[in-house]
Amino acid sequence: MSTESVPAATPKKRNTKVHPVDQVPAAGKLVALGVQHVVAFYAGAVLVPLLIARAIKLDSEALTMLITADLFTCGIASLLQSVGLWKIGVRLPLLQGITFATLAPVIKIANDHADQSAEFPARVGLQTVYGAVIAAGVFTFLIAPFFAKLIRFLPPVVTGTLITIIGICLVPVGAGDAVTDPSAHLHDAANPRWVCYALGTIVLIVLMQRFLRGFMSTIAILLALIVGTFIAWLAGDASFSSVGEAKWIGFTQPFAFGWPRWDIVAIVSMIVVLLVVAVESTGSIFATGEIVGKRIKAKDVAAAVRADGLATVIGGSFNSFPYTAFSENVGLVRLTGVTSRWVVGCAGVIMIILGLLPKLAKVVESIPAPILGGAALIMFATVAIVGIQTLTSVDFTDHRNLIIAATSLAVALYVQFSQSASPTQVIESTGATVDVPALPGVDQSMPNQILQIPFSTGITMGAITAILLNLLFFHIGKKGPAVAGGGSITLDEVNTMSRDEFGATFGEVVQGVDWVLDRAWEQRPFADVHDLRIAFQEAMLTGTDAEHLQLIRAFPDLGAEDEETGEMTAVDHKSLSHLDESEHDNVVNLSSAYREHFGFPLVICARETERYDRVIRNGWARMDNSVTSERSFALIEIAKIANYRFDDLVADANPITSARFSRQPELS
């Protein structure tokens, strides 16, 4: 008897699906898409070292080194973030570039520590800059695991204010370049030629953004710089003679300006700014995650912050500056729909290659200062607008947020525009060069280095002020915002109220209907005013049909008056109190016909239909609806009314802020 051997079943190979972020395009397409990212990124990438060099009066050879080092380390930083290494890098299509946020402190530190007796004073100042950059990078790398916990101390009112301050503090840097003579490198504000170049560049950027489409609109700044420089070359105001003298291939060695120097004020200033940059990077990470369809976790944020920290250490070692994700390229990912992180990795390799080409750096260096200044004005103002956009999510009817933002902005600008200035020269309208003596500033008023830290730059002072005020108002001895009782009742007191006290305080919001108040009260504790508002909205949604009908019937008829006083029964109807007698009779007739037809009152949010003709038109139009539809319409209107009544309670508790931020009435 023989037995047949049965071959062992071969296990099926598991088919794993690769996320689009991790897919690698074909080689040709990979390179083409990588080049596209580099082109979109290039103008912003080289702008920072150019502005720094001109603000600290750096020599031409050193500027070439800065530009090549910038591109080289941008490539390394982008590879760290997109390709990743160990727990470093978020592994998303994020291109890294030098952050504008550090521009003001870098210029300040370099100028303060320049050695005027040295052959190249600015190079000596950069040694202290790189010491601060490296120290801040190490700090950022080490706090990465804890950063998610620190975010609660940096809410939108803090980050939005800081980003706005950064943008405003940077605008004068662009304005300084816009009035600088390209050949003499001195301010020549009275020369109409430089004004034309700066404003012409701005006009070019605006027109390109308006009329170009797709990818071309994303490189409007680069195109404007090219066109503006070409016009300046034709007019004899731009020269490319230095390009021919530069080497084709070269490498800027680490610590090319000397070993870093360590200064506690400079280090703390840079750390404060990098904390803000880390929050900004976190926003870019979540925005990119949403675009590519990948959920961002706490470990991803930590990995991204580690990459920023390590890239900043590398930047400081290779003669560059701190890094963050470039928003231009985040927008490009959305625009093109190409989500592969390997495309950005390829762009990083291309930038490393560009960083080895000194001739290219000399071409960039030849851009006239007024043209560069015009582009910088737009870019820095855009930073401020991003901050203002962040502040739109802040509830400014809560006076604490208003105080945090206003005080931080005021103190930051006071420090920024009261800084000391080194002696310099300017060109008069006659063409003569005049000496400007050194000017004292608030940064010199403090007796020791520790006290000098907040006065080192407006950005540092603004950051410290915003963070401390946020701690004071929201974390130390927290009582919560005033929400009712004309300011006498805080959120914490609401969280400890009995049911009867809660009903007495908030009953008018929902016409005293018990089942709504019961369910809202049961949702305590409330984390903030928004949670309290949501509690009422959710409570109204959970009612049965019978309960909803009870809620609708609790509201007075539209236009109903108190028999004794003649005032409108509902506060929401006060906008109708200006009607003459015949118009009021028309409203009463409408509401009577409506109640007779449907069996419950006509409910209209009069604040959203303040004009008499709209109230009448909307009311009669609803007479043709079914009872079921009308109940639904009534509940929607009640939700609006409750929302406005809730706003009234908070406004009465915060009268100053509500006066500033209240909705303006509609004019008939």
What is the Cα–Cα distance from 165 to 302, expressed in whole angstroms?
26
**Exposed/middle/buried for residue 432 (C-beta within 10 Å: 0-12, 13-18, 19+):** exposed
User: Quick check: 475 pLDDT over 70?
Assistant: yes
What is the Cα–Cα distance from 280 to 159, expressed in whole angstroms?
8
> Residues near 18 by Cβ (< 8 Å), separated by ≥ 6?
none
User: Quick check: 420 pLDDT over 50?
Assistant: yes
pLDDT reported for residue 655: 46
Higher pLDDT, 560 or 549: 549
What is the Cα–Cα distance from 58 to 53, expressed in whole angstroms?
5
Higher pLDDT, 151 or 228: 228
Encoded tokens for 231:
């016009």
Domains of the chain by start residue, with CATH: 20-379 (no CATH), 482-661 (1.10.3330.10)
pLDDT tens, residue by residue, 355-386: 888 777 677 777 888 988 888 788 778 778 87
pLDDT more than 70, % of the chain: 84
Encoded tokens for 74:
């941008």
Do residues 391 and 185 make contact, with C-beta atoms less than 8 angstroms apart?
A: no
User: Quick check: 658 pLDDT over 50?
Assistant: no
Q: Which of 168, 170, 164 is nearest to 392 (CA)?
A: 164
What is the Cα–Cα distance from 267 to 250, expressed in whole angstroms?
31
Mean pLDDT of 412-429: 84
Dihedral in degrees, nearest 10, Cα atoms 367, 371, 374, 377: 20
Higher pLDDT, 499 or 154: 499
Q: How many CB atoms lie within 10 A of CB 184?
A: 12
Mean pLDDT of 607-615: 67
* Amino acid present at 382: T
**N-term to C-term CA, the chain:** 105
Q: How does the average pLDDT of the chain come out, rounded?
A: 80
Comparing 43-52, 548-557, 562-571, 578-587, which segment has the lowest mean pLDDT?
A: 562-571
Encoded tokens for 391:
């502040």
Mean pLDDT of 317-335: 73
> Residues near 182 by Cβ (< 8 Å), separated by ≥ 6?
232, 237, 238, 368, 369, 370
Helix (H), strand (E) counts: the chain: 27, 6
* Cα 278 from chain centroid (whole Å): 12
Adjacent-strand bridge partners of 425: 435
Q: Which of 301, 307, 308 is nearest to 86 (CA)?
A: 307
pLDDT more than 90, % of the chain: 9
Q: pLDDT band for position 635 (50/70/90)? A: confident
Confidence (pTM): 0.65
- DSSP for 79-91 reads HHHHT-BTTB---
